[in-house]
Amino acid sequence: PCELAVLSHDFHCVCNYFFLYDGSKVRGEADPTRDGICYFYPEETPLDKQELLCGQLAGVGRCVSELSSSPARTFRLRRNKFAIRMKDDFFWALGCSVDVPTVSVSEFLDQLIDLFCFYNGPVRQSYQLNSQETLAAQWARYLSHLQSGSSELSHIFSCLKTIDSTNVDPLLLLKAALILQACQRCPLVLAGCILFRGRVVSTQMSPGLTMKVMIHESETYTKAQRPNGTSASSSFSGTVSSTTVFLTAPELQDLQSAPVDKGFRCCPTTPQRDGPSKKTRLSRTLSDTPSPESQVSNPSLSKPPQKASLSPRLSDSDVFSPASSHSAANSLNPSPQSLRFLSNGENTVEDEAEESRSRDSTGGRSQIRSEGDGSVFEEDSHLNGGEVEGAFGGVFEFQAVESGNEQPHDDKVVEEDSRVSRGSVSGHKAGKSDPPALLPPPHRLSDASEENALIPMTLYMHRVKGLVLALLVEPHFMSDAASMEEVYHSSLASLNGLEAHLRTISPGAPGGPGPYTFAHFDCIQSTLTTNLSGRSGGAWDQPFVRATSLLHSHFCNTETLQEAIIRSACTAVYGTRSVAQETYFQQNGGSLRNSGIPNHQDSAFSLPSKARHRLLKHGVNLL
Amino acid sequence: MKCLLIASESAEMLFYWTDLEFQQNIQKQYGASQEEGHEFPAFEDSISTLFAPIIISFSTMVTEADSYTSFTTENNHIYVLHQFDECLYIAVNGDGEEKEEDLRRKIYVMNKMIEVLFGMVTLSGNLLRKELRARDTEQRLRLWKHLQSLLETYSHLRENDQSFLVEAVERLIHPTLCEQCIEFLERRLVQQINSSVERGGEEVLHAFILVHTKLLAFYSSRNASILSTSDLLALIIMAQNMYPSNVDVDDPSPEVQSGDSLSNSTDKDIDSTSGSGHESFYTPEPSPTDKDSSSSGGLLSRAFMAEDSLSTLEVYPPDPATPHKVFLEVSQKDGLYPMMPHSMYCLKLWPGITLVLLTKFPHSGVAMSVYTFWEAFAKLEKRLNEGQGGSTRGQPMHEVRSKLDKFLKTLALNGIQVCFCVLLCFCVEWLYSSTLPQHSLILWCKNMKTQLCGIYRQCFLSDSGPDDTPRHLSPGLRERAQTMVQEQLMDWKDFLLVKSKRNITMVSYPLSDFPGLVHFICVDRSSGQMIAPSLSITERTTSELGKGPVAQYIKNKMWSLVSTTRHYLQKGYSTLTLRDGDFYFCYFLWFENETGFKLEAKDIPIMPDDSAPIGMLAQNYYRKLLRYYSKNHPGETVKCYELLTVHLGVIPTEIILQHCRQLASKLWEPSRNPLL
């Protein structure tokens, strides 16, 4: 639902300085400041200057945080504006020009640190494990990624780059969404997104998470198919790669409660769901003996019967059909692998008939990890509050999956079962999908909680030329050949088709300066729609960007503010916002000859109605 | 949790003010870093130790051509830093009551007050440092206490008084009375004083009557220059500081009663005991031995705890009747002279009503010479710094020399500091002929400037004047002046006190004309005056907005609206409308010529966030704005107006804008408001 301005200045430099300083390395009087400098941008800065900035800012930061008993947040200087983060002994500072709104600078730094942690895990730990040079390259990479190819507006809003939806057949977007949903049928897949040439086509993840995933994509994209360093699955001819990433607890929780995948995700996993819910109590008591009462407790969930009436194939094509009907992926048929995959893991638990077996298989496992399960549980019920049931189910699911992995099995009956339930139960399985399954084994969790709970996961990427399917998956997904094959083959044809279509879409020609300029920011999806073309560099652009940046800060700082009109001698900008969006509108051309005295005939005051009118055709509804 | 401090470059504490909460916080912090069992260190030591790293780092960064302007922390503490010459000001807020702009404004206002109190001495960091941090502890504490009290008075006014919110003078709207008073001040009071032998060589230039913070009448003698709004506002702060009118306690009703029963009495002592709520700020007839507890400010005593050296040492404020030396801007035909010495006499007529007289000294012409001379050196230094030495050196030197000649004549006439001047003369002579390298010349210039400030200090700040003649209006004369005005206003006093609370009311803007209008402020920036319905929110008085939370809410909205409009104005936006909650706010700034013709809007300069605050009290933004705008209108007198309105949000925008237009044209109509 969006388009982007960008395209023009491919490198818009906002960041003047960035550094990470480790105060723990400079304890004694004799310790030189340079020992504490982990990374400094621009790297060519003379060391003296680096030391000066790091030493002074970190010193003042400490002093201020002592005086106020709270970490410093921003430092403003005459020529630079620094966002500051202080954590443990680390001190980050990101310096931008003073024109950039403070909220934006702070957000920029948060993103940067988050990106680092996403790909490298806890900062302290990664500096223990890796050389400073390696990590310096990482920082540089993230920094240039965040700065590159974006317009001033996108810096103001920190928005996601998305494909121009006005040029794209909506069915293609639907297809992309369906591909993602199909992938999610593998219980090891948490969520995914599809990117095309560095822009989002469809995503199931939060904007923040999507943004993090995108950097890896753009990286591999520019490296043009070079085998990925982290790990490339040989069997998929280098188009598939994966890397370890780290999620924060809230992100994980987000994925758990994400409404995106509800409908479809449930399909394949519903049977599991029932299983888990039956066994929740077991898990809670750290025993896996399924207890009958749990079954009773969940009559609605246990309704999917064992009898399969639909063929797996049929349901499969159901899922894919809307997309495939519009794409070359038509040919896609569920491969045997996919079927097997679907059965994989689920069967062991789900089937009542199989219950004893599943008890055995999971039993062994849970014994080993019983302690961990307990802790997982506690946390889980915490996170999910009232919806314990789903969460428990998730945990259980995880176990089930694991056990499935251990014991290859092809139980036809079970398979059919899952199909059926997919068809029938999908509706009521909203709420919690299986995110708890993401919770790491106990030892990892405890590690993580020390460092603000960063939980290792795997980012799986499947590239088809300019198109990338990125999935967040359980770490052991990559070692689970069956699951991988399933996901790979189930999506390959659709991806090819989608890519072929997207490739043929020519980017909409940036029109010259129109009669008006607008920007519409969707706060929920973090997307920006604007007709501001950086390329044309119209005379009206600068005033518009300036006004937008001011108003955006004002909106951020004043919750009750709904709309505003601001006018200088040459320009008038209207801004309005709701919880979900911010919209800015400027009428171009025609001199605003006025004396500044209140006058209801003044054109500035007709901006709200004009905006409502004009923006309708851009899909922006201000009513 | 608030604090403001001034430090020298070497992290020496030149002045500080904290509220109790901040002080406790500092003591806790410092206590934690001290060994157990140690005695509590003096507060001044703690605060300077804790701030020292920031101050030192500031100096370090300045040498790197960048300097801190503000810090924030995650719990929303704000630190604002600004350097004036060699003094670093740091203002801190930790309770969310002040924003960054407020703190910056506070710093600028503090600086303004110091300029008013010390004049040209502020131009020399070294001399000012000695002045602020006198070696004599008692003297230092007395000064600090005075400054602290001024700062608190200002903060109180800024938070509660609309005229200090927008930084423009509010007049009492009563044309007839005002006219009478001006006539009285001119024909009787000023004339009588200036022709008296008891005036000690002083001459009254300006006289005005304040009712609380509002101006009833203002008279300037013919040969006086215009008193700038900035200075007038600063003087009102000083007068308020001397005789605080505690609006929270004050209530006009008992005042009216006491006035009625004692209307024939001129005995101030009886008057003082009659009003129950007034003891706290009432000052009996000043006498040299009187220790006026009110002028030191009740807020202050609360702010300092017993272990604080400031309060353990009992500091008596100076007798309120003794004149204050104040340094005000004087504009003459040949230019603008900032910080020229005056004496300020603040005579209390009744609680809440004050007569202020501004006089000039017999030899204040010397100050002008010192200033021109100083300015010449400053210019020379600047040119040398810009690297135009050599060839151009001759011309400014000539200038300096001719000025020096003139200066020396004045000085010799007064027979002061002759030795010093001879030395100065010698130096200039030598400079003129010397072939010194550029940097030494620059040093010389700096040195000269400091010496000049020294002369200035000697002449106008030290207690012993240039000669032995009495330099003040005699106490008898002051008393007579006071009595005269009291007699004149006796019948009006109660009315005035009520009127000052209800200057104009929203009732005078009938609902039929302006349905949905909640509040407005209109400011004439050319004359520095404002009109607004009163916004009294005390418990006992009820404004049209009612009392309690609603009125308080509107007030808070108004205050934040003003700060918002300033922010946009700083970024070049002169019109602003906001829909915020249930209200609709408008702000307009426009220019007119003298005949009321609306001039076309022109782009307003865009300024950085850390530039001087927009206002008229410190660093008059509007004066600069008018000058900037007038460039395109040579020969025309340009006037600048501002209008802020608050409407109910349900009113259609067109109607709101119509109201604004009507207000804008009506308010300053001569027929309606002859005084403005």
The DSSP string of A24-37 is GG--STTS-GGGGE
pLDDT > 70? residue B392: no
Report pLDDT for B291.
37
Given B71, B74, B643, which is nearest A598 (Cβ)? B643
Mean pLDDT confidence for B515-535? 89
Mean pLDDT confidence for B167-188? 89
Given A98, A566, A594, which is nearest B576 (Cβ)? A566
Report pLDDT for A117.
92
pLDDT > 60? residue A115: yes
Range with the lowest mean pLDDT among A329-333, A511-515, B551-555? A329-333
CA gap B223, B384 in Å, rounded: 38
pLDDT mean across residues, chain B: 79
* pLDDT tier, A601 (very low <50, low <70, confident <90, very high otherwise): confident
CB contact under 8 A, B573 and A566: yes
**pLDDT greater at residue B470 or residue A418:** B470
Q: Which pLDDT tens digit goes with each residue over A478-501?
A: 888 888 888 888 888 889 989 988
CB contact under 8 A, A563 and B71: no
CB contact under 8 A, B653 and A594: no
Report pLDDT for A100.
84
Mean pLDDT confidence for A511-517? 73
Contacts of A593 in chain B (CB under 8 A): 600
CB contact under 8 A, A565 and B577: yes
First to last CA, chain B: 40
CB contact under 8 A, A568 and B574: yes
**pLDDT greater at residue B192 or residue A327:** B192
pLDDT > 60? residue B259: no
Please give the model's pTM, rounded to 2 decimal places.
0.78
- Burial class from Cβ neighbours inside 10 Å (0-12, 13-18, 19+) for residue A29 reads exposed
Q: What is chain A's Cα-based Rg?
A: 27
* pLDDT tier, B538 (very low <50, low <70, confident <90, very high otherwise): low
Q: Is some CB atom of chain A closer than 8 A to the CB atom of B263?
A: no
CA gap B37, A328 in Å, rounded: 83
CB A94 within 8 A of CB A109: yes
Residues 535-594 of B with CB under 8 A from A: 564, 567-568, 571-581, 586, 588-591
ipTM of the complex: 0.82
Report pLDDT for B545.
56
Residues 537-596 of A with CB under 8 A from B: 546-547, 550, 554, 558, 560-570, 572, 593-596
pLDDT > 50? residue B296: no
Report pLDDT for B377.
80
Contacts of A600 in chain B (CB under 8 A): 653-654, 657-658, 661
CB contact under 8 A, A568 and B573: yes
Nearest by Cα to A162 from A119, A193, A116, A118: A193
pLDDT > 80? residue B254: no
Instruction: Enumerate the β-bridge partners of residue B586.
Output: B577, B645
Report pLDDT for A185.
86
**pLDDT greater at residue B514 or residue A405:** B514
What is the CB-side half-sphere exposure of residue B382 using CA atoms within 13 A?
7
Given A60, A562, A572, which is nearest B579 (Cβ)? A562
Residues 621-650 of B with CB under 8 A from A: 643
pLDDT > 90? residue B206: yes
Phi, psi dihedral angles at B531 (to 5 degrees): -130, 135
* pLDDT tier, A187 (very low <50, low <70, confident <90, very high otherwise): confident
Distance from CA of A68 to the nearest CA of B (A): 7
CB contact under 8 A, B658 and A59: no
* pLDDT tier, A308 (very low <50, low <70, confident <90, very high otherwise): very low
pLDDT > 80? residue B242: yes
Q: Which pLDDT tens digit goes with each residue over B633-663?
A: 888 889 999 999 999 999 999 999 999 988 8
**pLDDT greater at residue B85 or residue A2:** B85
Give A572's contacts (C-beta < 8 A, 6+ positions apart): A565, A566, A586, A587, A592, A603, A604, A607, B575
Neighbours of A338 (CB within 10 A): 26
CB A47 within 8 A of CB A34: yes
**pLDDT greater at residue A177 or residue A449:** A177
Given B50, B72, B568, which is nearest A566 (Cβ)? B568
Q: Which pLDDT tens digit goes with each residue over A273-282?
A: 333 333 333 3
**pLDDT greater at residue B543 or residue B579:** B579
Q: Is some CB atom of chain B closer than 8 A to the CB atom of A69?
A: yes
CA gap B5, B11 in Å, rounded: 11
Mean pLDDT confidence for B3-30? 91
Q: Which pLDDT tens digit goes with each residue over A17-31?
A: 999 999 888 888 788
pLDDT > 60? residue A109: yes
pLDDT > 90? residue A158: no
Neighbours of A590 (CB within 10 A): 8
pLDDT > 80? residue B393: no
Q: Is some CB atom of chain B closer than 8 A to the CB atom of A605?
A: yes
CB A167 within 8 A of CB A507: yes
Given B69, B574, B575, which is nearest A76 (Cβ)? B69
Residues 200-219 of A with CB under 8 A from B: none
CB contact under 8 A, A568 and B29: no
CB contact under 8 A, B69 and A77: yes
Nearest by Cα to A571 from A595, A598, A601, A540: A540
CB B668 within 8 A of CB B524: yes
Mean pLDDT confidence for B135-157? 93
Q: Is some CB atom of chain A closer than 8 A to the CB atom of B94?
A: yes
Contacts of B73 in chain A (CB under 8 A): 64-65, 68, 70-73
Report pLDDT for A386.
37
Q: Which pLDDT tens digit goes with each residue over A198-239?
A: 889 999 998 889 988 888 776 665 554 444 444 444 455 568
CB A294 within 8 A of CB A282: yes
Phi, psi dihedral angles at B588 (to 5 degrees): -135, 140
Report pLDDT for A482.
86
Report pLDDT for A280.
34
Range with the lowest mean pLDDT among B137-141, B312-316, B565-569? B312-316
First to last CA, chain A: 18
CA gap B327, B112 in Å, rounded: 10
pLDDT > 60? residue A419: no
Contacts of B68 in chain A (CB under 8 A): 60, 75-77
CB contact under 8 A, A70 and B77: yes
Report pLDDT for A116.
92
**pLDDT greater at residue B509 or residue B108:** B108
Report pLDDT for A412.
39
Mean pLDDT confidence for A237-247? 83
CB contact under 8 A, A76 and B580: no
Contacts of B564 in chain A (CB under 8 A): 554
CB contact under 8 A, A598 and B70: no
The nearest alpha carbon in chain B to A561 belongs to B580
Buried b (16+ CB within 10 A) or exposed e, B613-651: bbbbbbbbbbbebbeebbeeeeeeebbbbbbbbbbeeeb
Nearest by Cα to A575 from B241, B502, B577, B68: B577
**pLDDT greater at residue A310 or residue B64:** B64
User: Given strand A15-22, what is the order of strands in its sheet?
Assistant: A37-41, A15-22, A90-97, A80-87, A72-77, B68-73, B78-84, B87-93, B2-7, B13-18
Contacts of B67 in chain A (CB under 8 A): 77-78
- Burial class from Cβ neighbours inside 10 Å (0-12, 13-18, 19+) for residue A254 reads middle
CB contact under 8 A, A77 and B61: yes
Q: Which residue, chain included where needed, has tokens 């009898």?
A: A307
**pLDDT greater at residue A536 or residue B226:** B226
Distance from CA of A67 to the nearest CA of B (A): 7
Contacts of A568 in chain B (CB under 8 A): 572-574, 601, 603-604
Given B75, B598, B610, which is nearest A76 (Cβ)? B610
Give B199's contacts (C-beta < 8 A, 6+ positions apart): B193, B359, B473, B474, B477
Given B71, B608, B610, which is nearest A72 (Cβ)? B71
CB B11 within 8 A of CB B80: no
CB contact under 8 A, A596 and B53: no
* pLDDT tier, A552 (very low <50, low <70, confident <90, very high otherwise): very high
Contacts of B72 in chain A (CB under 8 A): 72-74
Report pLDDT for B211.
92
Nearest by Cα to A259 from A431, A11, A24: A431
CB contact under 8 A, A69 and B53: no
pLDDT > 60? residue A118: yes
Q: Which residue, chain included where needed, has tokens 């998305």?
A: A162
Q: Which pLDDT tens digit goes with each residue over B406-429?
A: 666 665 555 555 555 555 666 666
Rank A141-155, A446-460, B605-619 by mean pLDDT and report only the highest.
B605-619
Contacts of B608 in chain A (CB under 8 A): 78, 98
Mean pLDDT confidence for A322-346? 37
Mean pLDDT confidence for A156-185? 85
The nearest alpha carbon in chain A to B2 belongs to A68
Contacts of A597 in chain B (CB under 8 A): 588, 590, 598, 661, 664
Report pLDDT for A216.
77
CB contact under 8 A, B61 and A568: no
Contacts of B598 in chain A (CB under 8 A): 595-597
pLDDT > 90? residue A431: no
Q: Which pLDDT tens digit goes with each residue over B357-387?
A: 999 877 777 788 788 878 878 887 887 777 6
Distances (CA, A) of B517 to A562, A598, B173, B511: 19, 15, 21, 8
Report pLDDT for A352.
41
CA gap B569, A345 in Å, rounded: 65
CB contact under 8 A, A567 and B575: yes
pLDDT > 50? residue A393: no
CB B207 within 8 A of CB B567: no
Report pLDDT for B375.
84
CB contact under 8 A, B598 and A595: yes
Report pLDDT for B373.
79
Instruction: Enumerate the β-bridge partners of residue B141.
Output: none
Nearest by Cα to A578 from A615, A508, A524, A619: A524
Q: Is some CB atom of chain B closer than 8 A to the CB atom of A617?
A: no
Give A145's contacts (C-beta < 8 A, 6+ positions apart): A115, A215, A218, A219
Query: Quick check: helix, strand or coil at residue A59?
Result: helix
Mean pLDDT confidence for A128-138? 90
CA gap A473, A247 in Å, rounded: 11
Please give the structure tokens belonging to residue B446: 């700096």
The nearest alpha carbon in chain B to A566 belongs to B576
Share of chain B above pLDDT 70, in %: 74
DSSP-derived pairing of the beta strands A72-77 and A199-203: unpaired
Mean pLDDT confidence for A582-587? 93
CB contact under 8 A, A600 and B57: no
Give A381's contacts (C-beta < 8 A, 6+ positions apart): A388, A391, A392
pLDDT > 60? residue B402: yes
Distances (CA, A) of A483 to A176, A263, A355, A401: 20, 21, 23, 11
CA gap A94, A104 in Å, rounded: 11
pLDDT > 90? residue B209: yes
Report pLDDT for A61.
94
CA angle B467, B473, B478 (to 5 degrees): 165
Residues 8-27 of B with CB under 8 A from A: 25-26
Report pLDDT for B565.
95
